[in-house]
Amino acid sequence: MLSTKEKLFKACKAYLEKRINRIRLAMQDLENDLENETKSSAGDKYETGREMINLEWNKLSRQLQEFKNLENTLEMSRRSSAKNVVQLGAAVRTTTANYLISIPAGQLQVDNNTYFAIGANSPIAQLLLKKKVGEEIIFNGKKTEILEIF
């Protein structure tokens, strides 16, 4: 049986795979569009069409690389083992919300609890990092106590 933390990492991995697959499909569509553009166009219209397709391809390539980088960050955070201090890879329960400090994957439902997968550079993560159970932070004017780190 998977631990809550492993389920959170699995949900983050599924989030990344979904985004990466969507980008790859869009890139395949662009390849098809480029092939059709080559067969059917001539002159300036041809060049404009090709350039628009190339611009979109470059944008998607950058997005794909960003998600690949997030995969690496997720894997690094998964290997984290410290449980007494909040760091990359920590799951944190607080009096106001639950977090996974890893990648910005948004809201996740695991074991009937809501967690927010956030990147280490996010404002809330910056406040939580290096804190221990029982310590408090103030975020958006609200006092929040760390209840558990796992």
Domain count, the chain: 2
Q: What is the pLDDT of residues 120-148, one digit of tens each?
A: 999 999 999 999 999 999 999 999 999 99
For the whole prediction, is pTM greater than 0.85?
yes
Structural domain including 124 reads 91-149
- Distance (Å, rounded) from C-alpha 84 to C-alpha 22? 38
User: DSSP letter at 133?
Assistant: T
Q: Per residue in 4-34, pLDDT tens?
A: 999 999 999 999 999 999 999 999 999 998 8
Asked, for residue 86, whether it belongs to a domain, the answer is no
CA distance 66 to 23: 11
Residues 116 and 144 in one domain: yes
Rounded distance between C-alpha atoms, residue 103 and residue 34, angstroms: 34
Q: Are residues 71 and 112 part of one domain?
A: no
